[in-house]
Every structure is written in structure tokens, then in C-alpha cells.
Amino acid sequence: MSDTASATLSVERLSVGYPGRKVIDNLSLSPIRGGALTALVGPNAAGKTTLLRGLAGLNRAYGSIRFGGRELVGASATEHAAHVTYMPQALPQRVGLTVFEALLGALKASPHGRASSADRELALETLARLGIEQLAMRALDELSGGQRQMASLAQAIARRPSVLLLDEPTSALDLNHQLRVMKVVQAIARERGIVTILVLHDIALACRWCERIIVLSGGKVFADGSPDEAVTPKMFSGVYGVEARVEHCSRGYLQVMVDDDV
Amino acid sequence: MADSTHASFVIEDYGRLVRKRLAVLAGLCAIVLAGFMADLVTGPSQLAVADAVKGLFFPGELSAPARVIIWDVRLPQALLAVLVGAALSLAGAEMQTILNNPLASPFTLGVSSAASLGAALAIVLGIGLPGIASSWIVSGNAFVFAFGSVLLLQALSRLRGTGPETLVLFGIAMVFTFNALVALIQFVATQEALQQLVFWSMGSLARGNWEKLAVLFAAIVLVTPTAMWSAWKMTALRLGEDRARSFGVDVARLRFVSLLRVSLLAATSVAFVGTIGFVGLVGPHIARLLVGEDHRFFLPASMAAGAAVMSLSSVASKVIVPGAVMPVGIVTALIGVPFFMALIFLRRERI
Ligand SMILES: Nc1ncnc2c1ncn2[C@@H]1O[C@H](COP(=O)(O)OP(=O)(O)O)[C@@H](O)[C@H]1O
Ligand SMILES: [Mg+2]
């Protein structure tokens, strides 16, 4: 799994949608490299979730999604799941499972060659890495929204995918946990050379942790590149309809100051 | 990276949790056994408890009438109670998971109504399958209709894109359709046929015999291992359909195969004992409250809980009115509801 350090994800002429409705139409991206984080940002209903669902094989896609020499469009669900893991935006409700049981369920959902004890070790290692091993025996239903989101992230990471797609993984997290999640996800992406795409709403967070930012608007790529290239006042007015200044702080990170709507 | 002392605690805690769930499962099985024994020693015919137990292990030492009571009446009925309870409850558990709906059960989604329609056709109009022995015509019809209703459910949902909500809605539509058709048949039925049909619908274990037991037992033995084989997939499905699919679970296929299992279990049970609605709904809920939703424990616990409810209901059906046996379908709800409510309230207190 870790020998895919150089594998990239390429998307060409990709169309994804829902029955009778095309949301992403003919979208192409330069290859997304593994080992670093890529942010997918954009206003509500821009098609971010739809794009990730297409990449994850959950929605019918047309065009080409290539990962490490394999074509994923039209690949079987099993093959897709072997490479790509998608963490949905919605968190499970009314589930009679503990955090640890749910995590084992995520690991054992599809057949693999691991022993049960190895799965338990892997589950525990993932919880420890995210710093939530104290939640292991808690019922999912009794957790706060943020804790639930951490548990959900653990399920995605534990599967050790080559392509990790996280849909708004930080939306319910406090500052400390946002930071912790970004750090852990970045470290894991580096170690295993994972292609990691995160949908984020906090542009400053994206600028701080991601080497590449893809701005999606109305199903089209509005800007794509390093934070410096993609995050500009023009982007804010064009995509969000707000007037904003973008400046480097004393540590060199991009900071966004929102002034007013245009 | 992981703090190794904390680490071993988690694994130990999990081991303890698994042992606790196994213990609860064993406790449920003990209740089933106790219920079964109680079922065996109660009945309208006066037979000492000691004789009943002795007759089970040493049939030769019993008088001929006592032997007949034990071996041809009580034992088949007591076993049928256990098997029907287990089968309907497993069917309900699978339905609730794959349809993501806590109200799903063979009863609420039209399987029982379909069986009633089949039975009504046989009893009132004498319409049966060609080539079926006349003693099996009612059961045969009920089975075919119940099995067919789930297949119809599958076909309809395929036609209109899958999705558990659609399936549930179709199921509810079928309940009303079949019930209306049964009412229509009742309307034209003779007094005698009507009485027979009403009695059939109430559900009774008195129809138990060794042949039917063998058929139901075969169905359960066939189905249970394949359900257990999918236990982890179903556990993952509880985390949401998208998540499960992203984890590599072919949800559409899981749903299809699971509904086949459900139709076989529910159709066989309902065909033999008539309408027994409550157990398929409540068995899984009792199991969920006791062992959670890791399906390795949840599925067998559902079977045991369903079997226990049916056994105890069967006992109650014999003792409520001394000297008479009430139809067990009526008693199941009367016994099951208070038990169920108690569990819900006890659980509330603990939180
Ligand atoms: N299940 C669905 N069926 C039809 N249209 C949908 C569905 N889900 C989302 N859409 C539409 O697709 C567009 C993009 O949605 P989405 O990808 O969820 O946006 P976001 O960027 O906020 O994640 C929206 O216009 C939305 O209305
Ligand atoms: Mg979204």
C-alpha cells in the first residue's frame, strides 16, 4: 500500500450527476499528487459533494478517473473500494454501536486477509492517532457532533485507502480538534503517499494545510493551484460574492479578511 | 505512537464487551430453554410435570395416551413455537437493518397479509396450486403468496430505482391491498368458511406436526449461516448506505439476498402458523436493547428473543383460560407488549 507514494489521481472530462440532472459537466483536473493535502472549496451547491461521490464510485460517472494506471470509471464497486474511501458529510444516526465496534465494522465490511486481532490493533492505532481512544467504548449515539465526526474520520482513515476523500471533515469541530485533524491527516498522507482531497469551508484553514486548492463554482473549476494562486480577492468576489483581502501573516501563511458583500 | 498502557485497556475493554454480549446471548438461550420446557409441561390435558419430562427421555415408560400427548401434540407445538419465533424475529431483524427502518417487519410490510390472502383463496374459494395435496393446500397457498409478495416488493423497487424508503412504501401499499382483497373474499364467504379463515388468521401453533417442523427447520438451517456470513456487512450498513458502499459493501446485492432470506423465513412460518405479527417486530428490538447492533450478536440474539417470546406466549395461551388454548397470535402481543415496555423503561432509567 505504501509503495504507491508516486501514484496520482487524474480526472479528465468527468461528468457526474443524479438521475435527470448533470451537476459536474466535462470537468478536467491536472493530476493530483499523493502525499500532500488538496482542498476542494466553493459555495453551497457548487457540486463539491457530487464530485467526491463521482470519484468514490457512489454516483455514476462518465469520462475518466485514473489512479496509478487504473481506470476507475466503470470499475467494480469492490475494486473502487479497494483504493478509494469516502467519508460522507452526513453522520450516522440512531446506531446501536460503540465507537470501537463501528470501526471494526468499517474494517471488516469487505473481505480482506487480516486476522481479527490485526483489525483490533489497527482500529486502536487509528483511535490513538486521532487522540480519541478514550471514546472507544462509548456508544456512537451518545457522542457530541464533533466526537461523532472524529469517529467517522477514524473509520475512513483506518481502512488505509490510497485515495482518501473527506467531505467537510472539520465542520463540527472546535479549533483544537480542527488543528488536530489537519495535522493527523497531513501526517498520514505524507507517510503513505495518500491522495487526499478535503472539502473545507474555512479558506484560511485550507491555505494553512493544503498545497493545492481547487475552487469549484457551479460545477466548474473557477481556480486551481497553490493557495497563492487560487485564493485571491477576485476569487472571493467571483465565487462567494464577498469583498475580501488576502494577506500573508508574519509567519507567511495566507490570511483572509472579509470586508463586505460586493 | 499509541500509549501502550491505554492501548491494552481498549482491547481488554472490548474483550470484556464481547464476553458480556456472549453471556447475554447465553442467558437468552437459557430463557428459551426454560420457556420450551414450561411449554412442554403445560396443557389442557392433566399430565404431571414429572411424567412430561420423563416422557421426553424415556417414552417407553409412559402410558400410550400420555405418549401421544407428549410426542404428537406438545413437543411439535413447543418446537414450532421456538422455530417460528426465531424465524420471524430473524426476518424482522434483517428487514430493519437493510431497510434502515425500525418499524419494518414481515407483518408491517405485507408478508402476513399476503399469506392471509393465499389462505383465504384456499379456504373460501378452494383455489390452490395444482398438484398440492389437499392437506397442504392452505399452507401451500399462504407460502406462495407470502414469498411472492416479497419478490413483488423487490421487482417494484427495482423498477423505480432502489431505495429503502420506496420499498417500505410499497410494503405498506401491499398491506392495504391484500387486506382489502381478503375482506372482499370474506364478504362472499359462507359462514363456515369465514369462521375457518378467521381462526387461521389468528395464528395457532396447533397446526404443528413433524413434517412442518422439518420444513421450517430446514429453512432456518439453510438461511441462518448465510445471514451470519453477511453480519459484518450489515453492521457496516448501519453506519449509512454511502459509507457502507464506500467500504466495499455491495448494498443493492446485500438487500436483494437478504430479502430472499426474509421471504423464505417469513413465508414458511406464516404458512404454518398463520398471522403472528408482533414477534418479528419486537424480537429484534429486545435484542438491540440487550446486545446492540454488532450483527454477529444482534442476529442470533434476535432469534433467541423471538423464540423466547413465542415460547412464553404459547405457555400463556394455555394457562390464561384454564382448560382452553387461546390462539397464540392474540397472546403474543398481550405478552410481548408489557415485556417490551418494561425493557424500554428500564433502559431509560439507566441512561
Ligand atoms: N440526491 C440529489 N438529487 C438531485 N440533485 C442533487 C442531489 N444532491 C445534490 N443535488 C444537487 O446537486 C448540486 C450540487 O450539490 P452538492 O454536490 O451537494 O453541493 P456542495 O458543493 O454543497 O457539496 C446542487 O444543486 C444540489 O441541489
Ligand atoms: Mg456538500
Every domain of chain A and the residues it spans = 4-231, 232-262
Count the neighbouring beta carbons within 10 Å of the beta carbon of residue B191: 7
**Which ligand is nearest the CA of A166, by number?**
2
Q: Please report the pLDDT score of residue B157 as a whole number.
A: 74
Query: Structural domain of residue B179, as residue ranges?
Result: 21-350
SS3 (DSSP) at B328: helix
The contacts found for B341-346 with CB under 8 angstroms, 24 or more apart, are: B343/B286, B343/B289, B344/B289
For residue A94, the chain B residues in CB contact (below 8 A) are: 102
Integer Cα distance of A147 and A196 in angstroms:
22
- Terminal Cα-to-Cα distance of chain B (whole angstroms): 34
Q: B234 lies in a domain?
A: yes
The shortest CB-CB distance from A110 to any of B235, B238, B248 is to B248
CB-facing half-sphere around the CA of A185: CA atoms within 13 A: 29
* More confident site: A105 or B62: A105
Residue B37 has pLDDT above 70, yes or no: yes
Mutate to test the interface with B, among A86, A101, A127 (most CBs of B within 10 A): A101
Weakest-pLDDT range from A42-56, A152-166, B86-100, B130-144: B130-144
Backbone φ and ψ of A254, nearest 5°: -75, 135
With a 6 A CB cut-off, is A48 part of the ligand 1 pocket?
yes
Task: Provide the β-strand partners of residue A217.
Answer: A220
Q: Which mutation among A21, A166, A216 tests ligand 1's pocket best, with the greatest number of atoms within 8 A of CB?
A: A21
Instruction: Work out the angle between the directed axes of helices B75-98 and B251-273 (0-180°, nearest 10).
Output: 150
Sign of CA dihedral A158, A159, A164, A167: negative
Q: Cell numbers at residue B123, please?
A: 379456504
Secondary structure of chain A: what % helix, strand, coil (to 5)? Answer: 40, 30, 30
Q: Is a pLDDT exceeding 80 seen at residue B131? A: no
Grid coordinates of A105: 465494522
Residue A84: strand pairing partners: A163
Q: Tell me which of A51-60, B3-12, B276-285 is least confident.
A: B3-12
In a domain, B291, yes or no: yes
| Residue of minimum CA distance from atom 3 in ligand 1 | A18
What phi and psi values does residue A168 have, to the nearest 5 degrees?
50, 60
B294 inside domain = yes
State yes or no: ipTM above 0.90: yes
Residue A73: which pLDDT band, with cuts at 50, 70 and 90? very high
Q: How far is CA B139 from CA A175, A210, B107, B115, in A?
A: 64, 66, 17, 9
A137·B17 Cβ contact <8 A: yes
Give mean pLDDT, residues B24-39: 97
| pLDDT surpassing 50 at residue B138 | yes
Query: Smallest Cβ distance to A124: which of B10, B242, B245?
Result: B10
Q: Kindly state the percentage of chain B with pLDDT values over 90.
A: 58
Q: How confident is the model at residue A77 (pLDDT cuts 50, 70, 90)?
A: confident
- Ligand 1 centroid–CA A17 distance in Å is 8
Q: How confident is the model at residue A4 (pLDDT cuts 50, 70, 90)?
A: very low
Single pTM value for the model: 0.93
B127: enclosing H helix or E strand: none
Q: What is the domain class of A4-231 according to CATH?
A: alpha beta
| pLDDT confidence tier of residue B165, bands split at 50, 70 and 90 | confident
| CA A22 to centroid of ligand 1, rounded, Å | 10
Q: Which of B14, B248, B293 sits opposite A97 (nearest CB)?
A: B293
Give me the residues of B, 209-238, that contact A with CB < 8 A.
232-233, 235-236, 238
pLDDT of residue A132: 95
pLDDT at position B311: 95
In terms of CA atoms, which chain B residue is nearest residue A57? B246
- Asked if residue A23 has its Cβ within 6 Å of ligand 1, the reply is yes
Q: Which residue of B has its CA nearest to A140?
A: B239
Report whether residue A45 contacts ligand 1, using a CB cutoff of 6 Å. Answer: yes
Mean pLDDT of chain B: 89
* Residue B73 DSSP one-character state: I
Cα distances (angstroms) measured from residue A99 to each of A103, A126, B16, B297: 6, 12, 15, 16
pLDDT above 70: residue B6? no
Structural domain includes residue B5 = no
CB contact B252 to A (< 8 Å):
no
**pLDDT band, very low/low/confident/very high, at B215 (cuts 50, 70, 90):** very high
Q: Which residues does chain A have within 8 Å of residue B253's beta carbon, measured at their own beta carbons?
A: none
CATH code where residue B219 lies:
1.10.3470.10
Contact B1 A86 (CB under 8 A): no
Q: What is the mean pLDDT of residues B96-125?
A: 91
**Residue environment code for B108-123, b if the CB has 16+ CB neighbours within 10 A, otherwise e:** bbbbbbbbbbbbbbbb
Query: Within a 10 A sphere around the Cβ of B147, how many other Cβ atoms?
Result: 22
A positions 7-36 inside 8 Å of B (CB): 19
Residue B7 inside a domain? The answer is no
How large is the average pLDDT for residues A5-24?
90
Domain count for chain B: 1
State how far the Cα of A24 lies from the Cα of B270, in Å rounded to an integer. 49
Flag if A96 and B14 touch (Cβ within 8 Å): no
Of A89-93, A109-113, A168-172, the one with minimum mean pLDDT is A109-113
In short, whether A40's Cβ falls inside 6 Å of ligand 1 is no
Task: Identify whether B177 is part of a domain.
Answer: yes
Pairing of strands A70-71, A212-217: unpaired
Ligand nearest to the CA of A88: 2
Cβ of A197 less than 6 Å from ligand 1: no
Determine the average pLDDT of the residues in A149-178: 96
Extract the C-alpha cell encoding B333: 402481543
B165: in domain: yes
B12 inside domain: no
Phi and psi dihedrals of A241, rounded to 5? 70, 35
Q: Which residues of B touch A53 (CB under 8 A)?
A: 242
| Interval A197-244: pLDDT, tens | 999 999 999 999 999 999 999 999 999 999 999 999 999 999 999 999
pLDDT band for position A6 (cuts 50, 70, 90):
low
pLDDT higher than 50, residue A1: no
Range A176-183 average pLDDT: 95
Tell me which H or E stretch contains A220.
strand A220-225
